[in-house]
Amino acid sequence: MKRYSALSILREALRGHTGWERAWASPEPSSKYDVVIVGAGGHGLAAAYYLGTNFGITNVAVLEKGWLGGGNTGRNTTIIRSNYLQDASAAIYEKSRSLYETLSQELNFNVMFSPRGVMMLAQTHHEVRGYQRTAQANALQGVETEFIGPERVKRLCPIISISGPRYPVLGALWQPRGGTARHDAVAWGYARACSGMGMHVIENCEVNGIRTEGGKVLGVTTTRGNIDCTKLGIVVAGHSGHLAAMAGFRLPIESVALQALVSEPVKPCLDVVVMANTVHGYISQSDKGELVIGGGADGFNNFTQRGSFHHVEETVRALVETFPIISRLKMLRQWGGIVDMTGDRSPIISKTPVEGCFINCGWGTGGFKAIPGSGWAMAELMAKGESPLANEFGLRRFREGRFVDESVAAGVAH
């Protein structure tokens, strides 16, 4: 795999860009691998990458039923933060955030990480108390956050209206090293690195069956033939319950569509990420100038990837109150992404009742920010049988009542 550099760009420019190689190979599937990971989104590709770099396991196939990163990885609002309340959550999200900081250099691929800062607005006295509590918890966890007053909120984000017609801004939980990254680039960078290690990233290969014998996984049946494996990782977001049923077990999750939209591009006016739970909206500005806007999750189970107009109305109304200058912008496009929700709004990274089969799901509305940390934990779990980052997120917690309750941190805000 050739390294990207300023020198390579200059060299290719002088010879008409004729020497570039494919970013990742497109191989035919082999009959057997040590590890098969179903789902070539960010989480699945990150798990494969860290299996190779951390444990030297490279006889790996990552299977994707469509195109690489065509699921939730390409349908999110790119927010990265780690200011969660529970210790287990803060640990895995902070691991992820710290990996994002050097991910471009590690992958030799620009993921466009921008630590512009994330503020979560407190617009009720209850939220003020809750965010002050979270700031104290984050201090004990080693996560850099602070609670700031409305005057500093206004300095950090001049276009905000802190006296809003329904809910004034009373302060915010501020994480200066949170931010955004380019969602597609994260998947592309991991895929390129996996391919460079000799792994097979196989697109247009849908899994339609999981073969087991005596409670142990043997392999998968796909639209491109049978593939045997010693270990199987299921990392398919909103379709996790469907794949689990193929393997013979059930998951405590529900799948719903999460709504988002972007505006037409405008000149730079917002250089932080702002999240407002009370009025239900969150917003950042992309490098192209679009305002990236997140809405809510549908209140009913579904697998549609279309947008819902009532969420657009609710979200835009809330954000126009908070940012009056955006009231005349046109909506460029809207969409939905299928997310899988657990009862405690925390993920599942776990062994399963089928020996050799592992599951990574339940990230709900906040999966993008967790990609590197999730991949790290999943790889460690698959290679060693346990991972400190994943210990609290096992399936057994639902039977034992050991919930990691992040319903406030993850149920609305991303």
Q: Note whether residue 3 is domain-resident.
A: no
**Tens-binned pLDDT, residue by residue, of the chain (414 aa):** 888 999 999 998 999 998 898 999 999 999 999 999 999 999 999 999 999 999 999 999 999 999 999 989 988 999 999 999 999 999 999 999 999 999 999 999 999 999 999 999 999 999 999 999 999 999 999 999 999 999 999 999 999 999 977 889 999 999 999 999 999 999 999 999 999 999 999 999 999 999 999 999 999 999 999 999 999 999 999 999 999 999 999 999 999 988 899 999 999 999 999 999 888 889 999 999 999 998 888 778 888 877 777 778 888 888 898 999 999 999 998 888 899 999 999 999 999 999 999 999 999 888 999 999 999 999 999 999 999 999 999 999 999 999 998 876 544 544
Residues 133 and 224 in one domain: no
Nearest residue to 291 via CA among 267, 309, 312: 267
Residues 206 and 324 in one domain: no
Q: Note whether residue 207 is domain-resident.
A: yes
Q: Note whether residue 11 is domain-resident.
A: no
Rg of the Cα atoms in the chain: 21
Residues 279, 271: Cα–Cα separation, whole Å = 21
Task: State the CATH number of the domain containing residue 243.
Answer: 3.50.50.60
Q: Note whether residue 376 is domain-resident.
A: yes
Residues 217 and 94 in one domain: yes
By CB atoms closer than 10 A (0-12, 13-18, 19+), residue 241 is middle
Domain that residue 192 falls in: 31-109+182-252+343-411
Final residue before a domain boundary, out of 342, 366, 385: 342
Residues 66, 225: Cα–Cα separation, whole Å = 16
Q: Note whether residue 9 is domain-resident.
A: no
Residues 366 and 236 in one domain: yes
Final residue before a domain boundary, out of 286, 310, 342: 342
Specify the pLDDT at position 414.
44
Final residue before a domain boundary, out of 293, 308, 342: 342
Residues 210 and 165 in one domain: no
User: For 192-231, b where at least 16 C-beta lie within 10 A, e where not — what string?
Assistant: bbbbbbebbbbbebebeebbbeeeebbbbebeeeebebeb
Residues 317 and 263 in one domain: yes
Residues 83 and 226 in one domain: yes
Specify the pLDDT at position 1.
82
Residues 218 and 248 in one domain: yes
**What does 195-251 look like in DSSP terms, one character per residue?**
HHTT-EEE-S--EEEEEEETTEEEEEEETTEEEEEEEEEE--GGGHHHHHHHHT---
Q: Note whether residue 144 is domain-resident.
A: yes
Q: Note whether residue 80 is domain-resident.
A: yes
Residues 331 and 377 in one domain: no
Tally of domains within the chain: 2
Q: Note whether residue 21 is domain-resident.
A: no
Residues 215 and 333 in one domain: no
Residues 155 and 128 in one domain: yes
Residues 266 and 172 in one domain: yes
